[in-house]
């Protein structure tokens, strides 16, 4: 018999405390260490937000410059990892390749045997810095392309785009991409973050926790939703088809990706920010097809089900307009979320208690054992 303590999916269950991010459904807001996501997107950079997450406060100019310099110095990855990427099957899943890269990276970290707070901070910074190379090198190699070396003159987000696409993005594209990364940095005890915290709560290391997080993020109900949302929009095809497509999907109980969120009932604030950017980038690039299609899908879902989009819906067509491969959308999520994951793991290890919940047993009781020859 089920008890009152049981909540499917742990919905509503408080599993710990944090000072890192706060999702407030009543106010429809998201804060990183007390700063509203809207203010950070409007005024900050990904590097500044990553510093805030890892160090616990916004940097002054000297701290910011030193942090950006440190990220640039740590961008390279060992040649052994690059050679390993070359041995993997062609067109391997980018998230699986990222797992391989992170696992190998752990072996060469100079702080791998040091579990102190400052050593974990250094590991976090290295992971943030090296994720662009891990993602772009593995992707380009698996697609038969030459890797693109990082450019020290470029910031974190624009350097990633350069290493992925082989050309330097303009300042506007870089700004929109940076804004999307800020929106993806953290979100409370989401599935991947919680997986990371559970792993390090055993006193395992930050690299192991990162692997757990990547595995959780890969799923289409978490990080993979942005990829599935764009595939859905491509299937819809045009604004003219959108309403009928949604109505048919609802009638046949087909999953409509990029909508709804367990935490937000009146709209995801990140989606609101990026939907506005989606309209703007569509106008600037002279291609409103996907924004208009998405708008009809959104309006129909709101009218029929009162369900609003989450952050994955606008990022899907924003990234598509930027010319980013759909299969790289989830690794981009990881590119941003690594700053949040590592911050949570540091916080967990600084005041650790093994995370070990109970399970409600619903199986048979006191079954008599029968010898094998009598079964």
pLDDT tens per residue, range 299-335:
999 999 999 999 999 999 999 999 999 999 999 999 9
- Cα pseudo-dihedral 91, 96, 102, 108, rounded to 10: -60
Which residues, in sequence order, are bridge partners of residue 31? 22, 36
Which residues of the chain carry a pLDDT beneath 70?
Answer: 1-4, 262
Among residues of the chain, what percentage have pLDDT more than 70? 99
**Marked catalytic residue, from 109, 261, 268, 344:** 261
**pTM of the predicted model as reported, rounded to 2 decimal places:** 0.93
Cβ-count burial of 111 within 10 angstroms (0-12 exposed, 13-18 middle, 19+ buried)?
middle
pLDDT of residue 92: 95
What is the set of domains in the chain, with CATH numbers?
34-219+327-350 (1.10.580.10), 225-321 (1.10.230.10)
Show the CA angle centred on residue 58, arms to residues 15 and 346, nearest 5°. Answer: 35
Q: Do strands 29-32 and 21-24 pair parallel, antiparallel, or not at all (unpaired)?
A: antiparallel
pLDDT of residue 26: 74
pLDDT of residue 215: 96
pLDDT of residue 183: 96
Determine whether 261 is an active site residue.
yes
Helices (H), the chain: 37-43, 46-55, 61-73, 79-87, 94-108, 117-142, 156-165, 171-184, 191-200, 206-217, 225-236, 239-251, 269-285, 289-305, 312-321, 329-350
Determine whether 312 is an active site residue.
yes
Integer Cα distance of 85 and 100 in angstroms: 8
pLDDT of residue 1: 44
Residue 86 tokens read as: 């070359």
Cα 293 from chain centroid (whole Å) = 25
């Amino acid at each position: 018999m089920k008890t009152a303590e049981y909540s499917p999916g742990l919905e509503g269950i408080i599993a710990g405390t944090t000072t890192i991010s706060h999702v407030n459904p009543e106010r429809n807001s998201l804060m990183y260490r007390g700063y509203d996501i809207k203010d950070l997107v409007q005024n900050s950079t990904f590097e500044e937000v990553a510093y805030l997450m890892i160090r616990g406060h916004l940097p002054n100019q000297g701290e910011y410059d030193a942090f950006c310099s440190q990220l640039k110095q740590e961008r390279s990855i060992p040649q052994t990892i690059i050679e390993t990427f070359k041995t993997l099957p062609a067109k391997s899943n980018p998230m699986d390749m990222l797992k391989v890269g992170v696992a190998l990276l752990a072996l060469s970290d100079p702080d791998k045997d040091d579990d102190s707070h400052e050593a974990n901070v250094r590991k976090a910074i290295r992971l943030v810095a090296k994720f662009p190379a891990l993602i772009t090198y593995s992707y380009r190699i698996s697609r038969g392309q030459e890797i693109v070396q990082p450019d020290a003159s470029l910031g974190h987000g624009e350097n990633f785009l350069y290493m992925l696409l082989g050309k330097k993005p303009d300042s506007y594209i870089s700004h929109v991409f940076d804004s999307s990364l800020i929106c993806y940095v953290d979100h409370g005890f989401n599935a991947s973050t919680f997986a990371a915290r559970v792993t390090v709560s055993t006193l395992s290391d930050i690299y192991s926790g990162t692997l757990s997080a990547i595995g959780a993020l890969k799923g289409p109900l978490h990080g993979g939703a942005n990829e599935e949302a764009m595939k859905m929009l491509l299937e819809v095809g045009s604004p003219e088809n959108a309403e009928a497509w949604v109505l048919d999907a609802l009638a046949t109980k087909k999953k409509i990706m990029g909508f709804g969120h367990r935490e937000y009932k009146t709209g995801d604030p990140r989606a609101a920010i990026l939907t506005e950017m989606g309209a703007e980038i569509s106008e600037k690039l002279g291609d409103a097809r996907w924004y208009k299609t998405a708008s009809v899908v959104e309006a129909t879902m709101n009218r029929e089900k009162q369900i609003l989009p989450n952050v994955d819906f606008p990022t899907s067509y924003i990234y598509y307009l930027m010319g980013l491969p759909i299969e790289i959308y989830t690794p981009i999520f990881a590119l941003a979320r690594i700053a949040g994951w590592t911050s949570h793991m540091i916080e967990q290890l600084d005041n650790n208690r093994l995370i070990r919940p109970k399970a409600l047993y619903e199986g048979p009781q006191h079954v008599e054992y029968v010898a094998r020859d009598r079964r």
